[in-house]
Structure formats: C-alpha cells, structure tokens
Amino acid sequence: MTDPGPLDGPAPIGRSARLDAAIGDLWSLMADDYGLLPDLALDALLARADRGELVAATPRLVELTVTQTLDVADAAAVVERFGGHGWEPAERVAVGEALDAWWLETLRRHPGEHPEPYRPEVVLGVIVGFGAPMVRWLGPWLDELDGPGAVHLSEVVLGGPDGLSGPAWTGKEDEARQVLAWARTEPVVTGLTLVGGVHLGDGMLGDVLDRLLG
C-alpha cells in the first residue's frame, strides 16, 4: 500500500479528511442517483442489498459503519457481507480504502477519544471481516507505534485473548491469534522499545515486554 499521507488530527466526533474523501468516492462510484439512500436505516438498506442492490446500498452502509452508528454485531455483519461480495475491481478498492481510512483514523485517536464501544480492538475485529490478509491492518499499526498506536497495541497485548473477543471477533479466533502472534515479532517488539515506550504510562512498557517475551 502507498503512504496514505496526512490525516486530520484526532477528534471525539467527525471524520478525517481521508475518510470523508473515501466515502465521497463510494457515493460517486456506486450510487450517483442517490434517491432516498442517504436517509435509509440499516434494515431498509439490507433489504435493498438482499434484492441485489448491495452496490448501491454500500456507500450508506459504509457511512453507518464508520460513524459507529451501528451496534458492533451489525457492523461486523455488514463488513462480512462486503467481504463475501463479488465486487468489480474498482468497487473493491473503494470499499477497502474506506476501511483503511477508518482504521488509520482509529489508530491515531488517543485513548478516550473513540466513540464507545468502538475502541481499536473492536474496530479491528469489525474490519477483519473484509477478508483481506491481516498485514493490511497490522502493517499500518506498526507504522503508528510512535504515537497513540503504541498505547492501543499495549492494551491489546495486556488484555490477551479475552481482549479480542465479543461480537466483533465472533468466528475470527484465528485472526485474533494472528494479532497476538504478530505482536511478538521482532519488528513490533523493537518498535515498542525504541519509539513506542515514550507514549506509555509508567511501568507499562515493562509489563508489555514481560508479556511478549515471557
């Protein structure tokens, strides 16, 4: 993947410029004739999707997902539906870009700035349902260790398997194990030690390294 470029600073509400652009691209590509789509609720959108109109419903489904409007279980089901659809290449790229932008925005928010319950570990569980290789989500996380991403990763490590559970992770136990195994790799341990530690609270780096290296 290419460098995503600058992202707006974190905020408790609102979207990054990259995510706004990705959603705008989805509307332009998939639903030029919006009609009532921008105002439809989830049930109505899924009914349209079940009638073969998933492509037209996707911009609104993505918008509901990334603005944390849906219950976590519903968001996870929507993204799994995206993962199982036979997209045209440009469409799949556009959906993936929106999920990439949401994930990066999530990583760059400081603890306490995420709309509950959409903390990083929950957002990751949702987007994993897209079916992309895990490196798509873990690579950007490694790049964000010199910032809030280090705190988010440390909390996941200390939370262990129980922290990667719940409705976002249902049926994704293998992916959860991959996250924790990745956290033990040399690039991640080195990144936490060299640049991530300054972002952690007193004693947190030691606790994380004990968990990773023990």
Residue type, 116: E
Predicted pLDDT of residue 12? 40
Pick 55 or 34 by higher pLDDT. 55
d(CA 12, CA 113): 5
* Cβ atoms 45, 60 nearer than 8 A: yes
Predicted pLDDT of residue 1? 32
What pLDDT, in 10s, does the model give residues 11-24?
Answer: 345 689 999 999 99
d(CA 71, CA 16): 21
d(CA 70, CA 85): 20
3-class secondary structure per residue, the chain: CCCCCCCCCCCCCCCCHHHHHHHHHHHHHHCCCCCCHHHCCHHHHHHHHHHHHHHHHHHHHHHHHHCCCCCHHHHHHHHHHHHHCCCCHHHHHHHHHHHHHHHHHHHHCCCCCCCCCCCHHHHHHHHHHHCCCCHHHHHHHHHCCCCHHHHHHHHHHHHHHHHCCCHHHCCCHHHHHHHHHHHCCHHHHHHHHHHHHHHCCCCHHHHHHHHHHC
Residues above pLDDT 70, as percent of the chain: 91
pTM: 0.91
What pLDDT, in 10s, does the model give residues 91-115?
Answer: 999 999 999 999 999 999 999 999 9
Predicted pLDDT of residue 5? 36
What pLDDT, in 10s, does the model give residues 65-85?
Answer: 999 999 999 999 999 999 999
d(CA 56, CA 21): 18
* Cβ atoms 151, 111 nearer than 8 A: yes
